[in-house]
Amino acid sequence: MTERQAFSSDTGSDKELDRALTDVLRSSPLDSQALERIRVAVEKEWRTSTTLHRRSRAIRRWGWASLAAAVLVIAVTTAWFTKFAGEPVVFGSISRSDGNGVDVHHVGDLLRAGDTVRAHGPMLVLLAAGGSVRIAADSTVDITSATEIRLERGKIYVDLPPVPAASARLNVWTHAGMVEHVGTGFEVLSDDTSVRIRVREGRIRLRAVPGAAGNSNVILAAAGTELLAVSGDGIVRRQVPTYGSDWLWVANLAPTYEIEGQPLLNFLQWVSRELGRRLEFSDPEARDIAARTILHGSIRDHDPLDALANVLATTSLRYEILGDAIRVNSDR
Amino acid sequence: MYESDRALVVRMGAGDQRAFDEFFHSSAPRLAAFAARRSGLDAASVEDIVQNTLVKAVRNLGSYRGEAALFTWLTEICRHELADVYRKAARRPDHTSLDELSSASPQAQLRVPAQHEPTAQVETEMRRSAVVRALQALPERYSLALEAKYRDGFSVDEIAHSLGLTSTAAQSLLARAREAFRERWRKGNDDEIMADDGHD
């Protein structure tokens, strides 16, 4: 009997069938890390839902004596449920807004699919699944789903964790096509005639609308690349620095970094990322000090460069900006 | 009525952490298997689908009345999620370019060419593919019964409970499912051998 015949006839035996089904069905398509990411997201949603339900039940227990007050609270709660139940998963929340009260959305507001954000001033949105979207003044963004937005006009910067959860993916639609991140920080600018994408970290994939990118409809761009799509002129690629004045608006909208209890080294890495400059140590001692120093206090209301100056002033380390690098020296 | 499933949901609604853990651990891996074997999607997409399914489920726990098994209810939500993914995929441009190919998964890029793989590995993969294909070709109820038995290690009574059947009916369903699977599996292997012989 040849090997192949044996393989074929094996499929008939009960024992082989049991083994084949067990082998295949017991192997999980998701690893434990993926399941843990799912658990965290689902548990968060469950806690939010059950808290709201419990509040509602407690209100009903107040009894006749508090009926008038209860009716009012139930009405408010019902309005809340009517507004949010059945709507898609929360996209994110507004953490900062400098629209001088003109914007429809304000700090603390939750954003969901179907919402349109018209930012008159700079706005920071923290994503429910991790990461942030920074929106420049005079921009309009449609949130089409938990993982997709459309930049109608203006400028945004998308910053996602280096290893994002599946739910933390974010695709940005523009009139030149769809920008998909491949673990990255990138800026997208859109106006009536052009779309400009600048990749600061990681990579992006642009799925261009037919005709916009010549024969290729999918374009990959790595950190330090700019793609400029001008209506009717195709897409031009060029190199751009990941630091400097063009990126200051992004640094100025950085989410607050809590330094309390953090090693100085973590803080320096955060500053380096926010400024788009490499972190260098002049000597091993400087790195060692950074790793051993634990910070206390707050840098709230400081942009990353101010925070760097203020924090290092309290240590024995100094820094200098050298082109694309922040160089940290021990003060000897 | 599925009293135990309903009770679990009520406990979850009351904020019972153990109930949530039980719900998650009994449903997430099964849902992942359900989604993967019905779609052939990659792990990241399966992760999205399972997460969206469970998030929607916990937000709408109040609508679960115990009229079907909890897992059956979840698979309904999951089917909608899968359909949604296919709808979106259909709207995307289907062109690929060299750029796109270069972004294929590292695993794909690093994979040893088939002709250089040890024969045993190739054969194991062939066997595995044949099993998956045969499972995908089965009617839904058959594959659910086989998954409950071989993946979850359910007894006949538990399978009966999860599918809303009597024990006798579950026993018959399982026997029919095994036969249907055997037939498709054998046919798949024979087809593969014939195709292979054609190439020799």
- Dihedral, A134, A135, A136, A138 alpha carbons, nearest 10: -170
User: Is B105 in the A-facing interface, judged by CB distances under 8 Å?
Assistant: no
- How many Cβ atoms are within 10 Å of B5's Cβ, its own excluded? 22
The pLDDT tens digits for A189-227 are: 988 788 999 999 888 888 887 665 555 577 888 889 999
Q: Do A177 and A43 have their domain in common? A: no
Dihedral sign for Cα atoms in the order A167, A99, A139, A118: positive
A200, A276 Cβ separation under 8 angstroms: yes
Q: Do A103 and A239 have their domain in common? A: yes
Q: What is the mean pLDDT of chain A?
A: 79
What phi and psi values does residue A144 have, to the nearest 5 degrees?
-90, -25
Q: How many domains does chain A have?
A: 4
Rounded CA separation A188/A206 (Å): 11
- How many Cβ atoms are within 10 Å of B90's Cβ, its own excluded? 8
- Average pLDDT on A48-55 reads 64
CB-nearest partner of B150 from A25, A43, A217: A25
Q: Do A96 and A241 have their domain in common? A: yes
Q: Do A139 and A224 have their domain in common? A: yes
User: Is A46 in the B-facing interface, judged by CB distances under 8 Å?
Assistant: yes
- How many Cβ atoms are within 10 Å of B92's Cβ, its own excluded? 10
Q: Do A108 and A235 have their domain in common? A: yes
Q: Which amino acid is at A201?
A: E
Strand, coil or helix: B120: helix
A195, A183 Cβ separation under 8 angstroms: no
User: Is A260 in the B-facing interface, judged by CB distances under 8 Å?
Assistant: no
Q: Give me the CATH number covering residue A269.
A: 3.55.50.30
Q: Do A137 and A221 have their domain in common? A: yes
For testing the chain B interface, which of A7, A17, A42 should be mutated: the one with the most B CBs within 10 Å? A42
A216 to chain B: closest CA residue? B97
Q: Give me the CATH number covering residue A102.
A: 2.60.120.1440
> Which two structure tokens, joined as six digits, stand for A52?
């709201």
Strands A218-222 and A203-208: antiparallel
User: Is A58 in the B-facing interface, judged by CB distances under 8 Å?
Assistant: no
B128, B136 Cβ separation under 8 angstroms: no
Asked whether the beta carbons of residue B54 and residue A42 sit closer than 8 angstroms, the reply is yes
Q: Do A160 and A212 have their domain in common? A: yes
**Domain that residue A120 falls in:** 90-246
Confirm whether A251 is domain-assigned.
no
Q: Do A20 and A40 have their domain in common? A: no
Q: Do A144 and A188 have their domain in common? A: yes
Question: What pLDDT score was predicted for residue B63?
Answer: 84
Strand, coil or helix: B116: helix
Q: Who wins on pLDDT, A328 or A181? A: A328
Q: Who wins on pLDDT, B5 or A181? A: B5
Rounded CA separation A179/A189 (Å): 12
- pTM for this entry: 0.47
Helical segments of chain B, H only: 3-13, 17-39, 43-59, 70-91, 98-102, 106-110, 119-136, 140-146, 156-163, 167-199
A8 confidence band (pLDDT: 50, 70, 90):
very low
A182 confidence band (pLDDT: 50, 70, 90):
low
A74, B86 Cβ separation under 8 angstroms: no
Confirm whether A233 is domain-assigned.
yes
The pLDDT tens digits for A286-326 are: 999 999 999 988 888 788 988 999 899 888 899 999 888 99
The pLDDT tens digits for A112-152 are: 888 899 998 899 998 887 788 999 999 999 998 888 899 98
Provide the CA A328 distance to its chain's centre, in angstroms. Answer: 28
Asked whether the beta carbons of residue A17 and residue B99 sit closer than 8 angstroms, the reply is no
Rounded CA separation A217/A228 (Å): 14
Q: Do A101 and A236 have their domain in common? A: yes
Q: Do A115 and A229 have their domain in common? A: yes
Ordered per-residue pLDDT tens for chain B, 200 residues: 678 888 899 888 888 888 898 999 889 988 898 888 777 788 888 888 999 899 999 988 888 888 888 888 898 899 888 888 877 777 655 444 444 433 433 333 334 444 444 566 667 677 777 888 888 888 878 888 898 888 877 888 888 877 777 888 888 899 999 999 999 888 876 665 565 555 44
Rounded CA separation A135/A121 (Å): 8
Q: Which residue has the tokens 């793609």?
A: A227
> Which two structure tokens, joined as six digits, stand for B72?
């059956």
**ipTM score assigned to the predicted complex:** 0.73
Q: Which residue has the tokens 């808290």?
A: A51
What phi and psi values does residue A187 have, to the nearest 5 degrees?
-115, 140
Confirm whether A293 is domain-assigned.
yes
Q: Which amino acid is at B50?
A: V
A112, A83 Cβ separation under 8 angstroms: no
- Average pLDDT on A260-285 reads 91
Rounded CA separation A116/A139 (Å): 10
Closest C-alpha to A176, from A201, A197, A156? A197
Q: Do A99 and A224 have their domain in common? A: yes
Structural domains in chain B, CATH included, are 1-92 (1.10.1740.10), 117-200 (1.10.10.10)
- Average pLDDT on A76-103 reads 64
Question: What pLDDT score was predicted for residue A240?
Answer: 92
Asked whether the beta carbons of residue B103 and residue A205 sit closer than 8 angstroms, the reply is yes
